[in-house]
Structure 1
Amino acid sequence: MLRRWSAAILTALCGVLVAATKISDGAPGSAALLLALFLGLGFVLSPLAFPRSSPADADLATTTAPDSTADDRPIVYWRPGCVFCLRLRVRLGADAARLRWVDIWQDPAAAAAVREITGGDETVPTVVIGGHGHVNPDPSWLRDQIVPAAQS
């Protein structure tokens, strides 16, 4: 659990230290601004910036299994603190809710599925669409893949 929050906690602590330094230098306005900036960055790096993680089913995650998810949504394997996952989440915007987000640090079966797809690495984001895995896909490509599915 702590590992999932480590980047966010470290960022918030750095913000507190920077703000304390600014306050001791006699600049409370810039201290408040920097603290808000660091806390915002901490939120972005936390698991809270992503849709609620759902557990992955082992048979859904493999590249050889047919895409038989109960809700037929593509699966995005991610982990907190990953800038590439954050980029994907931000660039997808509201379309991110159409995907199943699975935190590999919270679900060991998901981490194993990612290792199988990537050849032994835990490279995220890894997206499974139609039973095929895609490592760090371009957000515009992924949006094109999920929009037609939503229109049908």
Structure 2
Amino acid sequence: MSDVTIYWRPGCVFCMRLENALGASRNKATWRNIWEDDEAREFVAMVNDGNEIVPTVVIDGRPHTNPDPVLVARALKG
């Protein structure tokens, strides 16, 4: 299993799509709400040219902006 951190915010339809697609494996990831975590918000902006685009998913240290849920599911399953 890979190290997976998912940066998200409430109301984001793309975040909800990712969460639903991951099913029970979503609990294997670390979820960080950019509206409640300033460090998370700053990180997302840094890797997205100043934009707070979510979901931003970091898999083994590599950020992916709004990735295909299949990529994240594979990383969580190993």
TM-score range, shorter chain: over 0.9
1:132 aligns with: 62
TM-score normalized by the length of structure 1: 0.49
- What stretches of structure 2 of length at least 5 have no aligned partner? none
1:77 aligns with: 7
> Which gives a bigger RCO, structure 1 or 2 (Cα 8 Å, sep 6+)?
2
Identity of aligned residues (%): 44
Q: Alpha-carbon deviation of 1:140? A: 1.0
1:105 aligns with: 35
C-alpha RMSD over aligned residues:
1.0
Per-residue CA deviation, residues 118-146 of structure 1 (Å, 9 max, x unaligned), is 11100000001111100001111111112
**Distance in 2 separating the partners of 1:140 and 1:131:** 18
**Distance in 2 separating the partners of 1:103 and 1:129:** 17
- Larger Rg belongs to: 1
**Distance in 2 separating the partners of 1:141 and 1:129:** 9
Per-residue CA deviation, residues 38-84 of structure 1 (Å, 9 max, x unaligned), is xxxxxxxxxxxxxxxxxxxxxxxxxxxxxxxxxx7311000000000
- What stretches of structure 1 of length at least 5 have no aligned partner? 1-71
**Distance in 2 separating the partners of 1:105 and 1:145:** 25
What SS does structure 1 have at the residue aligned with 2:3? Answer: coil
| Cα contact 2:14–2:54 (8 A) shared by 1 | yes
More helix by share: 1
Equivalent of 2:23 in 93, 98, 111: 93
TM-score normalized by the length of structure 2: 0.94
More strand by share: 2
Q: Please state if 1:143 is matched with 2:67.
A: no
